[in-house]
Amino acid sequence: MSPSPDTPSERDLELLSAYLDGELDERARTQLEQRLAQDRALRAELQRLRETVALVRSLPPVKAPRDFTLDPARYGRPVPWWSRLFDLGTVLQLSGALGTMAALAIIALAFLLSDQGAEPVSDQAPAAASPVALQASPLPSATAQPPTATLPPTPFPTPVIETFEEAESAAEAPAPEGDLAGGMAQSSPGPAEPLVAPEAVMNGEEGAAAVPPALSLGTPAALESQAFAADAAQATAGDTTAQREAPDEEQEAAPAQAAPAISGTASLAPTQTQVAAVAPGAVELEQPAAADDGITADESDQIGEAEGTTPAGQAAADDDRDEGRVSGAGKDDDRDVGWLAGIGAGLLVASLALLLLGRRKARVR
């Protein structure tokens, strides 16, 4: 390909070519210029290259012979659909929202069913009743409030008390009937006074920590709702290394425990934060319906597991085992409903994750 013997090497050609374009760095340029000053053949080659480039650059620019614009009628329609799909993540958000609604519907259904299944048991504890429970469904923050309730010593429905006793014996947990009553009596003085359960000094790993919030319900005949709230708070607290604290400490320690527990769950992940925020609500929703501890515990169990807070799930399962003896007949139904609630909670997590993903996508665009 070399037409003349004095044609420079490929390396020199490359240097000359880059030199013409001003694309050599300072050092290479100086070196080449020194060589050019001495090397006549190199200078001649540079000149030939320069002429070649000048010739090519002399080509006149050509204008487009016509407009290449696209016909909106032909290209306009299908593209917005796709671009909207990909650009905004709308589909993700939409499915997330639908999934959330479906999950809430499933959970609500679970509670409806659990209500029916629990009816016989709730008969055993008649006074516990929905009005109380309705009040007993505070938001997580409300649950974490210091106990302020007056709990007049009321006759407790036997099954519930047994539950407590058994729970206590099983997990070395407190609150035998009489003691509870005693505790109530002690703590009942004023409406704003926290309930202290003296015998609640324990090292068991049950939901006793959540008892004070439950007491904040401040209604007579609230023992059962207290129990519910305990379970609810347990589910809320998730992190049920919740200790049963000394009675004195309990009024302060318990709310404090509830709060860290919640935040502990919340800190897991953004999605789980939302789940944690929703799940307690779900449990509280179920309170009015669930007149039986076993149900609540059962469902808490499921939800707790769905949240991935295994300790809570286990603790709830312990409760479940204990209290299951009380709930007796309703047990099987409750199990099914618990599964339903678990599915609902799982769907909720997935849906919220989708929602978040969709939002992020839309924001990125």
- In the complex, the smallest distance separating the C-beta of residue 361 from another protein, rounded to whole angstroms, is 12
Yes or no: say if 119 and 291 are a contact pair by the CB < 8 Å rule. Answer: yes
- In the complex, the smallest distance separating the C-beta of residue 41 from another protein, rounded to whole angstroms, is 14
Interface region with another protein, contact rule CB under 8 A, candidates 27-35, 82-90, 101-109, 270-278: 82-90
* C-alpha count within 13 angstroms, C-beta hemisphere, residue 96: 17
Yes or no: say if 229 and 287 are a contact pair by the CB < 8 Å rule. Answer: yes
- In the complex, the smallest distance separating the C-beta of residue 22 from another protein, rounded to whole angstroms, is 9
Yes or no: say if 294 and 250 are a contact pair by the CB < 8 Å rule. Answer: no
Q: Number of residues in contact with another protein, rule: CB under 8 A?
A: 42
- In the complex, the smallest distance separating the C-beta of residue 78 from another protein, rounded to whole angstroms, is 8
* Residue 23 or 33 with smaller CB distance to another protein: 23
- In the complex, the smallest distance separating the C-beta of residue 44 from another protein, rounded to whole angstroms, is 12
How many residues does the structure list for the chain?
365
Tell me the CA distances in angstroms from 226 to 4, 232, 289, one per residue in order.
103, 10, 14
In a 10 Å sphere around its CB, with 0-12 CB exposed, 13-18 middle and 19+ buried, how is residue 295 labelled?
buried
The DSSP output letter for 190 is S
Q: Which residue has the tokens 């920590």?
A: 209
* Residue 27 or 63 with smaller CB distance to another protein: 63
Yes or no: say if 265 and 276 are a contact pair by the CB < 8 Å rule. Answer: yes
In this chain, which of 25, 81, 191, 363 binds another protein, going by CB under 8 A?
Answer: 81
> Distance between CA 176 and CA 162 in Å, rounded?
8
* Residue 82 or 332 with smaller CB distance to another protein: 82
**123 lines the binding site for another protein (CB under 8 A):** no
Question: 310-327 and 293-307 helices cross at what angle (nearest 10)?
Answer: 160
Tokens at residue 150, please? 């007056």
User: How far out from the chain centre does Cα 304 lie?
Assistant: 12
**332 lines the binding site for another protein (CB under 8 A):** no
* Residue 25 or 332 with smaller CB distance to another protein: 25
- In the complex, the smallest distance separating the C-beta of residue 363 from another protein, rounded to whole angstroms, is 15
Q: What angle do CA 20, 24, 27 make, to 5 degrees?
A: 130
Q: For residues 15-74, which are near another protein according to CB under 8 A? A: 16-18, 21, 23, 48-49, 52-53, 55-72
* Residue 8 or 338 with smaller CB distance to another protein: 8
For 129, the 3-state DSSP assignment is coil
- In the complex, the smallest distance separating the C-beta of residue 211 from another protein, rounded to whole angstroms, is 57
* Residue 62 or 191 with smaller CB distance to another protein: 62
In this chain, which of 33, 35, 37, 76 binds another protein, going by CB under 8 A?
Answer: 76
* Residue 75 or 267 with smaller CB distance to another protein: 75
> Distance between CA 167 and CA 172 in Å, rounded?
8
**82 lines the binding site for another protein (CB under 8 A):** yes
Binding site for another protein (CB under 8 A): 1, 3, 10, 13-14, 16-18, 21, 23, 48-49, 52-53, 55-72, 75-76, 79-84, 86-87
